[in-house]
Structure 1
Amino acid sequence: MAIGDIEQVPNSTDIYYVDTGMYEVEQYGSVYLIDAERPALIDTGIAADREHIFAMLDEVGVDDLAYILPTHVHLDHAGGAGYLAERYPDATVMTHEIGAPHLVDPTRLVEGTKAAVEDQWRFYDEPLPIDDDRVEGLTDGDEIDLGDRTLTVHHAPGHAPHQVMYHDSGDDALFVGDAMGIWEPNTKTARQTTPPSQFHLQKALDDVRTIEDIAPETICFGHFGSEEYSEELAESYKRTLVEWVEAIRQKREELDDDEAVIEHFVEHTQMDEVWGVRKAQDEERLNARGVLGYLDYIDSQ
């Protein structure tokens, strides 16, 4: 897929996704449309990429959205929510109750994002606040009625405490946000996503176990695209998380300098040929910093 391309999720009836061109990288950011009786959008991408999402909705022929459903409020998943709410004034915006207030007043969310993504902020547009009466908080076990199918909400706090997954009963698809990592469709591997400041290894592993319990037919990744679920995929991602955190831990013991640890993984990235040098290095820096923060948190307990 190229930036702006739209595809239907394989083996689905009415699920589509678009390559949003996040960070100006192909096959990195995806936003999903469920063209149900009451249409729903899963995630909204970075606000700067909103025209690609508008184009998907127009091409599929959706005139009115019933729901805008960020999996979590990190701005690469919820940054466009305000612009979509503005374009579709009858849509209800729903996300986990911890994150919902940040869609109404995104001030702290913007500050935290700038601190986390550093130079990557140049790819973002400021999010629009959403009227409080249009935003609803979700909790684990909630159900969202789309008319011809139901979305069941599963809390998945390992990547961020405000993350949820949505299980579509119609097509047995699970929209996982970042709970199963970053899917690289060319190599068919799930890579870690462990950003600051709230990544938690044990909770992230528990999130994968939740996915194993659901055992959906299809996994829909926020990054990037869809893939048939398998036990091997889940086991592989759990192993990836554990090995990544252990690699950071060992390198910190060896170097005793966190900036040197970060630069080591930046310099040894293996994703430059996939995402380009800039994005590959930015990704390593973000994920290494997240694990170092997690290790500090664990040591303080």
Structure 2
Amino acid sequence: MNAGEFEPVRGVPDLYVHDTGMFDTDEYGSVYVYDAERPAVIDTGTGANREALFETIDSVGIDRGDLAWILPTHAHLDHAGGAGHLAARYPNAEVALPERGVRHLVDPEALVAGTKSAVGDQWRYYDEPEPVPEDRIRGLAGGDRIDLGDRELVARDAPGHAPHHAVYHVPESGVVFTADAAGIYVPEVDGIQPTTPPPQFDLDQCLRDLGLIADLDPAYLCFGHFGPREYDPELIGEAKRTYVEWVEAVRAKREELDDEAVVDHFEETSADVEFWNPERARANAGLNARGVLTYLDG
């Protein structure tokens, strides 16, 4: 897929995946549009390319007054940055996300400051988020159900990536929206890359989150980065190995170098240039390395 395009998720009626063009990179950021009886948007992108998302929602056939739900999986701005913009455009939609993320969308000032600190000059690919009105948002606890009319979406806490992170399960269709809990899926190589940003990545909890996804026994995984894939238990095993090996690689390099040199090393040697543009590959590697270093200090 290319930035701004959308297509049906094969095997899942009424579900569409939209490529946000995040960070000027094709097949990096996903938003899902569920044309259920009470339609929903799962994740929102950064907000920077929101007009293309609006066009996708229109093309799917969802009127502005009919969108019922805006459902970020967590408060990180690559997943929730567009929530306020969507809320303004779709006046009847309710925003819902894990409880610990609600305050960040109502008053995004601290989240914006933290994001700018973490991503550095990559901030130019974001948009200033619009606050979500308090009367338009609610928090979700693990096990809470979202009524889509002809089906339900169930929130499951998955805090290894961040304390305000969840995966969403639609039992009727066998779909799990994994957000960042199962890593970054790269369609070009049919493989998993880790996502371990600072400051709250937790390896042990991340491995438990992967176990949770496996226990749900889904038919399809819908990754926040990037796109849908039919479920294969081996993919979860690959994700677990990838996370453990990545943390151990950073730990080993830290024994040789100071922390800034560790980050520089992984930026310069990132193999992600094989499928992303060099700028995104370096930025992703540096952010992930900083997250592991913070985790190792815990």
Q: What range is the shorter-chain TM-score in?
A: over 0.9
Number of the residue aligned with 1:173: 175
The 8 Å contact of residues 15 and 35 in structure 1, kept in 2 or not, is answered as yes
Number of the residue aligned with 1:220: 222
Paired with 1:33 and 1:47, the residues of 2 have a C-alpha distance of 15
Cα displacement string for residues 44-69 of structure 1 (whole angstroms, at most 9, x for unaligned residues)? 00111111210110100101210000
- Secondary structure of 2:271's aligned partner: coil
The 8 Å contact of residues 148 and 170 in structure 1, kept in 2 or not, is answered as no
Number of the residue aligned with 2:280: 279
Give how far 1:273 is off: 2.9
Which runs of structure 2 are paired with 1:26-41 in the superposition (5 Å)? 26-41=26-41
Number of the residue aligned with 1:241: 243
Give the partner amino acid of 2:50: R
Give how far 1:15 is off: 0.4
Give how far 1:254 is off: 1.7
After superposition, the CA RMSD in angstroms is 0.7
Number of the residue aligned with 1:114: 116
Number of the residue aligned with 1:205: 207
Percent identity of the aligned residues? 56
Number of the residue aligned with 1:14: 14
Number of the residue aligned with 1:51: 51
Which runs of structure 2 are paired with 1:1-301 in the superposition (5 Å)? 1-63=1-63, 64-255=66-257, 257-297=258-298
Runs of 4+ in 1 over 6 A off after TM superposition: none
Give the partner amino acid of 1:251: K
**Count of equivalent residues:** 296
Unmatched segments (≥5 aa) in structure 1: none
- Secondary structure of 2:92's aligned partner: coil
Paired with 2:37 and 2:270, the residues of 1 have a C-alpha distance of 44
Give how far 1:169 is off: 2.2
Paired with 2:3 and 2:133, the residues of 1 have a C-alpha distance of 31
The 8 Å contact of residues 7 and 17 in structure 1, kept in 2 or not, is answered as yes
Paired with 1:88 and 1:212, the residues of 2 have a C-alpha distance of 34
Unmatched segments (≥5 aa) in structure 2: none
Cα displacement string for residues 148-193 of structure 1 (whole angstroms, at most 9, x for unaligned residues)? 1000110000001001111112311100100011100010001000
Give the partner amino acid of 1:138: L
TM-score by length of 2: 0.98
Paired with 2:208 and 2:160, the residues of 1 have a C-alpha distance of 8
- Secondary structure of 2:97's aligned partner: strand
Give how far 1:252 is off: 0.2
- Secondary structure of 1:129's aligned partner: coil
Give how far 1:108 is off: 0.5
Cα displacement string for residues 96-150 of structure 1 (whole angstroms, at most 9, x for unaligned residues)? 0000111100011101100111110011110000110111000000011111100
Give how far 1:73 is off: 0.6
TM-score by length of 1: 0.97
